Structure 1
Amino acid sequence: MNWKQALHDFQHYLNLERGLSKNSVSNYVLDVEKLILFLENHQLAETPLQIDKGTIQQFIYELAKHVNPRSQSRIISGLKSFFNYLVFEDYRKDNPMELIESPKIGRKLPDTLSEEEINDLIGAIDLSKPEGERNRAILETLYGCGLRVSELIGLKLSDLYFEEDFIKVTGKGDKQRFVPISEINKKYINIYRKEIRVHMTIKKGFEDILFLNRRGRQLTRAMIFTIIKQLALDIGLHKSISPHTFRHSFATHLLQNGADLRAIQQMLGHESITTTEVYMHVDRTHLAEVMNKYHPRKKD
């Protein structure tokens, strides 16, 4: 078995059997491709079935010179999955990654925005331009529903259940969940739909996509990043923000205002509560307030 065939089969397995999203599959493939490139650059002819721990260690050592510990950890995890797949399919008897340890990395706390900063960003949108109403609806939805950027750009008209106050969201691995939507969020989506989108020439195949670009096609992830970065510049916000910052802010503000962690987990679409628990560490002052308010030994 050569690398090309092994990688093709692995990709097929990730798509069909594990049901991962396109982005996740792409990341796994890139991890293996980095190892393949290392072998080519060093003129090493080891196949996926022959490669041993020594060669892998060489690769990891060289990798450490060029990427940060967090990226190293992700690549090591991707390669472990690849070789586990080969073992699972009986192509190999061992996983050469088994004793390879990931570098120690601290838990990265998500960046957040204050309510005032979010209001300032939305207030900076130029509503005199047709895309202004769209951009306002986009930011309100990112913050109001805590969506990932991929979930936002894939949102469809047929996913809007406004009478029931929910939207249907398709998350990682095509898993669907229902997320509550507020009256203010519905208001701005409806303004965009009824005053802007209805007058657009929509390309075939995109008739059901909610947020469209000027050519009547689905927006890209990069475009959402660009919109947000430009608004941050416009208001002089000196923070590195992205669409995900609105998702983090959504979760953090809910927690600060007393929302149940399990409810936040469901709305965010996290498989494990451990992923959601990172928000417990974002605002330590909030934790102190909870202790002082609810602990039986609190001071009078």
Structure 2
Amino acid sequence: MELESVVEEYLYHCIAKGFTPKTLKNKRQDYKQLLQFLKNKRAVTELESVTVHDLKSFFREKQKDGLQATSIQSLHKMIKAFFNWCVSEEYLKENLMKFVESPKLPKKILKTFTVQQVQSMINAFSFKDYLEVRNKAMIAMMADCGLRAMEITGLKSVNVKETTILVYGKGNKERIVFISPVLKKILIRYDRLKKEYFKDEIVKSDNYFLSYLGTSLSHVALYNVVLEAGKRAGIEGVRVSPHTFRHFYSIQSLMTGKLDIYSLSRLLGHGDIGITQRYLQSLTDEQLLDKAIASSPLMNFSKKS
């Protein structure tokens, strides 16, 4: 069976499953690299002819080319997913990728914002005009809901309800996050100024957060808003980015003791709880001490007596 044809069939399967254009683009690039390698370096063009040695050789070449471990791991997942599908379609009896090791990533401590830093970044923007309140609302929503950058820029107005937000995450997976009363106060003022700002303008997008022209926001635009917030608040010693707000949200949720890690994983839209567990590495010794004291059996005994 021609390998290129099977890959193309799999990509249409992914389209039918609702994968995002970005994910499909990455898959096409990864599979193109694999096909070219197998054809040019291993003289393999048939699915049944692919061996574990061919696949191991492909990843060795990527390492020699200087591809970072994180990129190789992502490539490994993409190719493994394809071979899993081949097994499910009974094109192959087993997934050859289970015999190909994925590189181990060094464990990094994910440093995150403090409560004071986030408060300063939210307060860095005012309610005086549309752009100021829009920026305030985006920073507040990232901190209070833990949304990804793509989820903020792609958020539709119709999906922002009274107390909930319907989010479409990676792979177009749906989930519900909740709007706290504090965030709601900011969103009410944002909605009011947004309506007033665009009352005589043609709005060109149904997104919730809009540019001053009424168009959707790019990832770069959101990133620049976060950088501006960090600059105004004088944030130092931590990476100022949209993703750092997800770390902040995760740590704060765990610190309060109100959320268990399984519930947090659902709210973050993680497909694997192992991803959520990485955020635990961001806990400082002081935060761990606070959690330990709060969960101490003897301390809880004294509260009841």
Change (3 A) 1:92 1:266: closer
Q: What is the alpha-carbon distance in structure 1 between the residues aligned to residue 15 and residue 185 of structure 2?
A: 37
Q: Assess if the C-alpha contact under 8 Å between 1:232 and 1:238 holds in 2.
A: no
**How much does 1:225 deviate?**
1.6
Change (3 A) 1:130 1:292: closer
Quote the residue 2:169 is aligned against: 171
Structure 2: where are the runs of 5+ without partners? Answer: none
Tell me, yes or no, if structure 1 residue 136 matches structure 2 residue 141. no
**Secondary structure at 2:84 match in 1:** helix
- Which protein has the bigger helix share? 2
Q: How far off is 1:94 after superposition?
A: 4.8
State the Cα deviation string for residues 136-195 of structure 1 (Å, max 9, x = none).
Answer: 111111111111222222222222222xx2222222333333222122322222222221
**Structure 2 contact 126–136 (Cα < 8 Å) conserved:** no
Counterpart CA distance in 1 for 2:159 and 2:292 is: 40
Q: Structure 1's 199 and 2: CA in aligned 2 closer, same or farther, altered over 3 A?
A: farther
Displacement of 1:33 in angstroms is 2.6
SS at match of 1:161: coil
How many residues are matched?
293
Q: State the partner residue of 1:59.
A: 58
Q: TM-score normalized by structure 1?
A: 0.83
1:237-276 matched pairs, under 5 angstroms: 237-261=236-260, 262-276=262-276
Asked if 1:290 corresponds to 2:291, the answer is yes
| Percentage of pairs with the same residue | 27
Q: Distance in 1 between matches of 2:290 and 2:132?
A: 39
Counterpart CA distance in 2 for 1:112 and 1:64 is 31
- The equivalent of 2:184 in structure 1 is 186
Matched, 1:10 2:10: yes
Q: Residue 199 of structure 1: CA displacement?
A: 2.8
Distance 1:36 1:160, change over 3 A: same
Look up the equivalent residue of 2:238 and give its one-letter code: K
Which range moves more in the overlay, 110-119 or 140-149? 110-119
C-alpha spacing 1:263/1:100, structure 2 compared with 1 (3 Å): closer
Structure-2 change in CA distance of 1:265 and 1:95 (3 Å): closer
Kept in 1: contact 2:14–2:24 (CA 8 A): yes
The residue aligned with 1:27 is 26
CA contact (8 A) 1:6 1:48 kept: no
Distance across 1 between alignment mates of 2:158 and 2:230: 32
Conservation of the 8 A alpha-carbon contact between 1:32 and 1:79: yes
Match of 2:278 in 1: 278
- Aligned CA distance change for structure 1 residues 270 and 96 (closer, same or farther; 3 Å): closer
TM superposition score normalised by structure 2: 0.82
Q: 1:175 to 1:81 in 2, by over 3 A?
A: closer
Match of 1:72 in 2: 72
| Counterpart mapping for 1:116-131 below 5 A | 116-125=116-125, 130-131=130-131
**What runs of 5+ residues in structure 1 fail to find an aligned partner?**
none
State the superposition RMSD in angstroms.
2.9
